[in-house]
Structures are given as structure tokens and as C-alpha cells.
Amino acid sequence: MAKKRIVICGEPVLRRQAKRVKNIDGRIIELLGDMVETMLENSGLGLAGPQVGESKTIIVVRPDPEQEDVLELINPRIVETEGEEEGLEGCLSLPTLRGTVIRPQRVVVEAVTPDGEEVVVEGEGLMARALVHEVDHLAGTLFIDRVEPDSLAWLRPDDRKESGYRLDPTTMEEALAAFERLRKRRSEA
């Protein structure tokens, strides 16, 4: 398995509708393993194919942020939602940006495992948020498309805060410009 490079906001692959997986072959299995490694190494809760430059309908999600158990889901689709809750979100493709997003409190997702088994996954709270966030990626939707604009902020280290971090408010325009500069620096490296 190999760590993959995470695609940054502004890359066209993040805005495309991902292609449905028709054949679960060794390449898909390997890609899922690489995504798990990449997600865990970056302390993420989830990762979608487009985030590693692969326009495929595959996601990996950690049901419990304290554990390294990971669900690997192929062709996931949300079949049921219930309730709603507001919460702070971030994304590995939008590093250090946070914002408040309203998501379902509970979801049911149908998908296929790497073994070809059809599964139904239920998630509540943070797990529901992670599942919907990752399935959104497959449709070319980012959390900033659903964010409450006045809630956008950069997560910055701050030793004076008990959490070790502070939130510095920003605007959508400032955030998008910052990601464009980051993408340009990465392409020049």
C-alpha cells in the first residue's frame, strides 16, 4: 500500500460526478487500501476517491475517530435520512478550513464491500456526518457548498488555548484564494 497525494480544493476532479465502479478488481482493492493509509496518516475521518485524484465512487470512513477500524465502501448511496444537526466540519482537501454545516442526524447507506458483498450501513451523529460528507464528494459537492458562510474559519495552533487551537474567521473568497495559492505552490514543487 502507498500513501496517496490528497487533491486540494480547486482541482477539477473534486467537482466532477465520480464514475460508478462496475468491476471490483485488484486496482480498486489496492486503491481502497491506499486511501485507508492516506486517511489514517492524515488523521481524517473519511476520504473519497476524488480526493486522491480518482473519479471513482469509493469512500473510506472511520466509524470511531478513536479507532483505526475503517469501512471501505464501493458505490455508496444514501437511501434514508432522519433529523438534522448542526456541526463544525473540515475536509482533507480544504486543509485547516472549518465551518458549520447542517447534516442529517441519522443516515442509512447501501454499498458494496471490496469482497462484493452488498451491505447496509447506518450512522448517527458524527458517523452520519462523515458518510454524507464523503458521499457528497462523489457528486462533486464540497462542504463549503453547504456551509453557513459566516461560520468559515481557519483552525490555527495556539498554545494559549486549552484545546491548543483557535479559529480565525475568514470569508469564502479569502479561503478559495488561499487554496489557489497552495495549489500553485504544490505544482511548482
As annotated, the active-site residues are 134
Contacts of 3 (CB under 8 A, 6+ apart): 34, 37, 38, 41
Start-to-end C-alpha separation, the chain: 24
CA 37, chain centre distance (Å): 14
Beta bridge partners of 84: none
Residue 112 DSSP symbol: E
Contact predicate 50/17, CB 8 Å: no
- 148 three-class SS: coil
Strands 71-82 and 106-112, bridge-based pairing: antiparallel
